[in-house]
Amino acid sequence: MSKRPLVHLATSAAQPNLGPDDVGLTDALRERGMEPRIVLWDDPDVDWSQGMTVVRSVDDYAQRRDEFLAWADTVPRLVNHADVLRWATDKHYLLELEKRGMPIIPTVWLEPDENYSKRQVHTRFPASGDFVVKPAISSGGSDSGRYTAVDPDSRQQAIMHAMDLLAEGRSVMVQRYLDSVDQRGETAVVFMNGLVSHAVEKEAMLTGPFDPSNPPEEVVRARVATSEEWQIGEVARQAIHSYIKERLGHDEQLTFCRVDIVQGDYPDEYYVLEIGVVDTALYLDAVPSAVDNFADAIAVRAFW
């Protein structure tokens, strides 16, 4: 009898049993003839040359990005590919995808090597409405805050938030907060091996300034995405595939990819907030078919 393909499910020390939405994944993989093992990505005793490795709950990659990417480069069969992880762990990727037709929220980028003064940061904030300050490299919405442009105290908090991130050598993104997020949340559409899998609705997470003692919490429920949302998701999928093929040299679909979509000021206006191809939650526990879809997608790679 042939040996069952080994599948490492890479996670972090903070989530040694994977994330809560991955419950049932190991059983689904075994049912398809694979041998799953949950391992820490930074465990020096793991032989990564055996079998394949699927990146899952590596929620510490943003704080240890150089180390994480160095590890990824050493893993022979990694899902998603190490080159893709390097590109997708920095949200500057949005600029590349925008060039390929993916709509993004207009963004002001503040770079640490520009040595901005507080006044210069202040002048780059919106003049009205709410806006978001967040780092270009982060995991799960961490280090992000929501501020009000016309409130002096809130604006001052935003300046200090941005200055702190810049002082740490981190690029900063400033984006207008869309009212639709409070009204109907975000829609996450998930693709596996380039095929539509499922969609969920995520309630608004940012309610105020960045507070490290009170990280935002996701509230998720299954939903049927609209045709417009699936269309935007497909635009994003094609843009991602185009970039990876042309710039990274990998002509294959990503085993998993989540596209977070928000509505603009008008009913037919949509933006991609971000894509998730690294440690992204796939909300496998929210949709009954999702775990099987993911296990099938992994099996395609494992039995190559």
CA dist 133 and 129 (Å) reads: 13
pLDDT on residue 2 = 56
- The residues, any chain, with a CB within 8 Å of residue 203's CB and separated by 6 or more, are 185, 218, 219, 220
SS3 content of the chain, % helix, strand, coil (to 5): 35, 25, 45
Q: Which residues of the chain does CATH 3.30.1490.20 include?
A: 107-176
Calculate what percentage of the chain has a pLDDT beyond 70: 99
Banded model confidence at residue 1, pLDDT cuts 50, 70, 90: very low
- Report pTM: 0.95
Q: In the structure encoding, which two tokens stand for residue 53, read together? A: 């490795």
Q: Which residues of the chain does CATH 3.40.50 include?
A: 6-88
Three-state secondary structure call for residue 29: helix
CA dist 256 and 286 (Å) reads: 16
106 pLDDT above the threshold of 90: yes
Class in CATH terms, 6-88? alpha beta
Banded model confidence at residue 216, pLDDT cuts 50, 70, 90: confident
Three-state secondary structure call for residue 100: coil
CA dist 256 and 87 (Å) reads: 15
250 pLDDT above the threshold of 70: yes
Closest to 204 in 3D by CA, of 234, 225, 184, 227: 184
pLDDT digits (tens, 9 = 90+) for 257-268: 999 999 999 989
CATH of the domain spanning 107-176, picked from 3.30.1490.20, 3.30.1280.10, 3.30.70.580, 3.40.50.1860: 3.30.1490.20
CA dist 164 and 171 (Å) reads: 11
Please name the fold of domain 93-103+179-285.
D-amino Acid Aminotransferase; Chain A, domain 1 (3.30.470)
CA dist 270 and 268 (Å) reads: 7
Task: Determine contact, residues 217/205, Cβ cutoff 8 Å.
Answer: yes
Calculate what percentage of the chain has a pLDDT beyond 90: 90
What ranges make up the beta strands (E) of the chain?
6-11, 35-40, 52-55, 78-79, 107-110, 130-135, 145-148, 172-176, 186-192, 195-202, 220-222, 257-263, 270-276
Tell me which residue has tokens 């390097």: 86
CA dist 254 and 104 (Å) reads: 21
**For residues 15-34, average pLDDT:** 95
CA torsion, ordered 15, 19, 20, 23, to nearest 10 deg: -110
R_g of the chain computed on alpha carbons: 20
Q: Which residues of the chain does CATH 3.30.470.20 include?
A: 93-103+179-285
134 pLDDT above the threshold of 90: yes
